[in-house]
Amino acid sequence: MQKPSFSIRAAQPRDIPALMRLKRLLAQAEDSLHAVRASEADWLRDGFGADAGFTAFVAESADGDGVIGMATCSRRIITGWNGPVLFLQDLFVDSAHRKHGVARALVARVAALACELRSPIVELTVRADNTAQAFYQGAGFQHLPQCLTYVLAGPALNALAGRDKDNLALAV
């Protein structure tokens, strides 16, 4: 058996430029680069330290290519469940390093974190045109046809928020 040419580890603050590069490549591939607004300071604040809102893992090349892949995930609480749900937000591998098990190893690390946290599931949302769907199914993810994703954003979000008569966000 051939030794993998990469290793998986928890991301460190020094990895933020590489994480952001991969995030932009992912967004570009999804034609959603316009939606990436976070700065390095945002990633440092939200991904590291005692109040981190997400966890990131990186795949690092053994050949000196640096960080070649990433997975980011966050915890969600679902009322009625015992333990958090782990939400896989981003999974991306540089194109030159695909088909070598990097994505599978990153997902395995996320699954191990879910087990460590006693999370009953790892959840992800993919676009209907995402070619990685076969990969996710091969890794054991199941499509839930009874579930749909809805978002409230932009003018509709602002309009609905404007109808809040109590304005609880400003209450002291």
pLDDT digits (tens, 9 = 90+) for 31-72: 889 989 999 999 999 999 889 999 999 999 998 889 999 999
* Residue recorded with tokens 């959603």: 32
Q: What is the pLDDT of residue 64?
A: 86
For residues 57 and 110, the answer to whether their CB atoms sit within 8 Å is yes
CA–CA distance from 131 to each of 22, 109, 123, 135, 137 (Å)?
17, 22, 18, 8, 11
Q: What is the pLDDT of residue 53?
A: 95
**CATH of the domain spanning 6-143, picked from 3.40.630.30, 1.20.1250.20, 3.40.50.1580, 3.40.50.300:** 3.40.630.30
Q: What is the pLDDT of residue 108?
A: 97
CA–CA distance from 133 to each of 101, 124, 136, 146 (Å)?
16, 11, 5, 17
Per DSSP, 25 falls in state H
Mean of per-residue pLDDT scores for the chain? 91
For residues 62 and 102, the answer to whether their CB atoms sit within 8 Å is no
Q: What is the pTM of this model?
A: 0.88
Once rounded to an integer, what is the mean pLDDT over residues 81-93? 92
